[in-house]
Amino acid sequence: MPKYHIVTFGCQMNKNDSERIAGLLSGIGFSATDVESEADLILMNTCSVRQSAEERIFGKMKDYKELKEKNSKLIVAVTGCMAGRDHDGALKKRLQYVDLFFPTRDMVNLPRWIAELRPELANGNGAEVDYLKIRPLRLPSAQAYVTIQTGCNNFCTYCVVPYARGLESNRPVRDILQEAQEAVDGGVLEITLLGQAVNAYRAPDPESFSAENPFSDHFAALLWEINQIERLERLNWTAAYPSNMTDEVVAALGLPKQVRFLHLPVQSGSDVVLKRMNRKYQRRQYLDIIGKIKGRYPDFALGTDIIVGFCGETDEDFAETVDLYERCAFDISYTAQYSERSGTLAVKLHKDDVSVETKRQRWNTLQALMEKIVLEKNQAYVDKVVKVLVEKVEGGKASGNSEHLKLTIFDSDDGSLVGKIVPVHIFEAQTWRLLGRLLS
């Protein structure tokens, strides 16, 4: 039986894409291996959000050169966003030991390409035209990612996604519900829906919504449908776009299986910078959305994405971001220091004129603010009982996320708890974790 080894870089969507590739390869007779030197096919699923992510791929070429010298028949493949955005072939030229280089959507051709390179490995040629119809091969877990949308129509000036993954494409409701149901039938308790602007979802088959569905907004309606799946305990989704947070989507946050957490990227608190980024909302609109959510669900935890040091960002612009952060009191922010990405509009339209030192200082400022706020907010969980989906038991400690997606740790050496939701009484709240005791 031929063997494959997949290396995944980047976001949750890339992880879900790798599961589909694994399902495709399994369907043509391959088995997985964790040992690269044993593989007949090594596939890297790449990220292009930052230059450092791509440099890691180039850095692997020395390893694969050595492996190919030992096994001349080894097939090395690269897919994902790096291949998707390489429209002029410049990136491929730097990957001289790579045999296959293709965007994610073309994974359906992988069986045929393998057969052309090594006919003895061929056992079927695949049949799907749409890669999202390939059944993912997931490792046993209580958690699963389900992609509902690929590509993006927003064209933020700093972002490579529309060039790497194309324009927005939404999966049919029936396909999403089928995949979600199969995941639950396999033991999944928590599903995370994925999309580049996930709450912009528009169903190509709205007739598949139930007649009793109370929502007209398609994303809110989809959330309602998934909430009807028996034995599913939790539903999460990422990453939302502020302009698509309609009143119905806000209302859907109250559905019974929704986790008590929302990740809503803001990127900047300055209208001037937001306009330069081509973000299609203003500071006031974002704060209004957060106000609605806090007014309706006071206990919700909030996450965001912020870019510091974007082209032309002044001290005044950054001060507005700090002020917005304090007003929203985020539980977590994934803060990035801006760096140019070739092929994006920002490179063509704006000058990267904020110094590396200033970017680092601004990042440190937000990091310190985040840690201060989250430590204060976490004190509200002390002496409360939270429900924890246990992900790991190791060294006498069990850990997993609460319904607010707070990492929670308690004493236990019972491995059977993994994949179960258990009640934990919190006795201490730290910056990035809650400490508690398991209740019987």
pTM of the entire predicted model: 0.91
Are 213 and 334 contained in the same domain?
yes
CB atoms within 10 A of CB 318: 23
The H helix count followed by the E strand count for the chain is 15, 18
Distances (CA, A) of 71 to 37, 66, 75, 92, 397: 9, 9, 9, 22, 43
Are 374 and 405 contained in the same domain?
no
Domain count, the chain: 3
Are 328 and 244 contained in the same domain?
yes
Are 326 and 183 contained in the same domain?
yes
Are 326 and 420 contained in the same domain?
no
Are 14 and 72 contained in the same domain?
yes
Residue that finishes a domain, picked among 358, 379, 400: 379
| pLDDT confidence of residue 337 | 96
Cβ proximity of 231 and 184 under 8 Å: yes
What whole-number distance in Å separates Cα of residue 109 and Cα of residue 161?
22
Are 151 and 262 contained in the same domain?
yes
| pLDDT confidence of residue 299 | 95
CATH number at residue 168: 3.80.30.20
| pLDDT confidence of residue 126 | 59
Nearest in space to 262 (alpha carbons), one of 239, 281, 287, 244: 239
CA atoms within 13 A on the CB side of 29: 13
Nearest in space to 99 (alpha carbons), one of 42, 184, 160: 42
| pLDDT confidence of residue 49 | 80
Cβ proximity of 269 and 283 under 8 Å: yes
Are 375 and 388 contained in the same domain?
no
| pLDDT confidence of residue 122 | 73
Are 371 and 419 contained in the same domain?
no
Are 104 and 141 contained in the same domain?
no
User: Which residues in the chain come in under a pLDDT of 50?
Assistant: none
CATH number at residue 409: 2.40.50.140
Distances (CA, A) of 126 to 21, 182, 398, 433: 11, 21, 41, 45
Domain with 323, as residue range(s), is 137-379
